[in-house]
Amino acid sequence: MTMPSFWENKRVVVTGGAGFLGSFVVEQLRARGCSQIIVPRSKDYDLVQMEAVQRLYADAKPDMVIHLAARVGGIGANQSNPGRFFYDNLMMGTQLIEVGRQRGLKKFVALGTICAYPKFAPIPFKEDDIWNGYPEETNAPYGLAKKMMLAQSQAYRQQYGFNSIVLFPVNLYGPRDNFDLNTSHVIPAMIRKCVEAKEAGKDRFTLWGDGSPSREFLYVEDAAEGILCAAELYNGSLPVNLGTGEEITIHNLAGLIANEVGFKGQIEWDTTKPNGQPRRCLDVSRAKQLFGFQARHNLREGLKKTIQWFHLNSQSIREVTF
C-alpha cells in the first residue's frame, strides 16, 4: 500500500541518502512523487556536530527527516571501533531528534538496528523483548547507541508530542552494498570471496566462525519500501521490526552463494574468529499489522540479483577497495 499524494509538496531530508540503503529510499521517494529531497553529504554536514545539525535544519527546512546515516561495519570493524561507533551514532541520532523537536519538525523516521536486541533474546525476536538483556558483545556499543533513539523517541512523544518512529531492520543486502572485505557485512563479503576464489581457480576459501549462527536477511529494495510505508502510515511509539521472518545458518548461506556463483571448491571455517550473535530471526507481524508491510523477495531471488550486480560492477569495486 502506498500513498503518492502523501509526498506532494513535502520537503524530506534523507541522512545517509547517498549510501547503500539511502540510494534506494531516495529512488522510491521520487517514484512516489516526492520532488523535494535533500541528501546532506558528510563533507558539508558532519552530523556528529551539533552546529552542523542545526545548520542542516536551517538550510533544508524539512517537513520530515528519514535518518539512515550510521557509522557501521561488520564484526571486525565493530571490534576495532567500539568507541567511535558508539559516540558517532549516539550523537547523530540524539541531536537530529532534539533539533527536530526545537524546530517543530512534523515527523522523524529513525532506523535502528537488529544489533540492539539482547544476545539471547527468544527466537523470533519480538519488539517487546528489546530491553530484556544486553546485546551481543562484538557490536553492543553500536547497537546500544542506535537503541537510544527509541528511548528518546518515546520520551519526546510523551513530553513534547514529537512525532517520531523507530524501525529495527534485520541485516540488509543487495545491489550497491559495501563489498570492501575490511568493512563489509556477511553477504557481500561471502559473494566477493566466493567469486574471487572461482576466478583465481582456487579450490577453497575461508570464512569467519564455524558457520553455526543463523541470520535473517532483508533485500534492500524491500527495506526501502518498508521504511516509506511506515513513514506514510505509522505514527506510534512502539518499535517495529522490518524483515522476512525467515532464518538461515551462515553455513547454509555460504552454500547458497557458492551454488549461485558456481564455485565447486571447499569452504573452510576459521573458528578462531568470533561467530557473533547465536541466532537472529524476527517476528515481523507488527509491521504487517500497523502499516501493511511484507517483504517481496525471498533470499534466493535477492542473492541472484545481488550476485548479478557484483559481476557487472566487480572491476570498479576492486579498484576502489584494493
Condensed to tens digits (0 to 9), the pLDDT of residues 110-143 reads 999 999 999 999 999 999 999 999 999 988 999 9
Is 47 among the domain residues? yes
Could you tell me the pTM of the whole model? 0.93
Provide the b/e sequence for 5-27 (b: ≥16 CB within 10 Å): eebeebbbbbbbbebbbbbbbbe
**CATH code of the domain covering residue 140:** 3.40.50.720
pLDDT of 93 reads 98
Q: Is the pLDDT of residue 166 over 80?
A: yes
| Mean pLDDT along residues 22-51 | 98
- What gap in Å lies between CA 215 and CA 224, rounded to an integer? 20
Do the domain assignments include residue 284? yes
Number of domains in the chain: 1
**Residue 90 resides in a domain:** yes
| Residue 282 confidence class, pLDDT cut points 50, 70, 90 | very high
Pull the grid cell for residue 163: 512525532
- Find the catalytic residue in 45, 57, 142, 156: 142
Task: Determine the number of helices (DSSP H) and then strands (DSSP E) in the chain.
Answer: 10, 12
Whole-number Å distance between alpha carbons of 13 and 62: 6
Does a structural domain hold residue 99? yes
Once rounded to an integer, what is the mean pLDDT over residues 32-61? 98
In a domain, 313, yes or no: no
Is residue 224, in this structure, part of any structural domain at all?
yes
Provide mean pLDDT across the span 153-182: 96
For range 205-231, the mean pLDDT:
96
For the chain, helix, strand, coil in percent to 5 are 50, 15, 35
117 carries an active-site annotation: no
- Domain range for 134 is 7-173+217-245+279-297
Mean pLDDT of the region 172-200: 92
Q: Give mean pLDDT, residues 257-286.
A: 93
What is each CA distance from 98 to 33, 56, 65, 69, 224, in whole angstroms? Answer: 28, 13, 12, 16, 25
Residue 95 domain flag: yes
Between CA 209 and CA 198 the distance in angstroms is 21
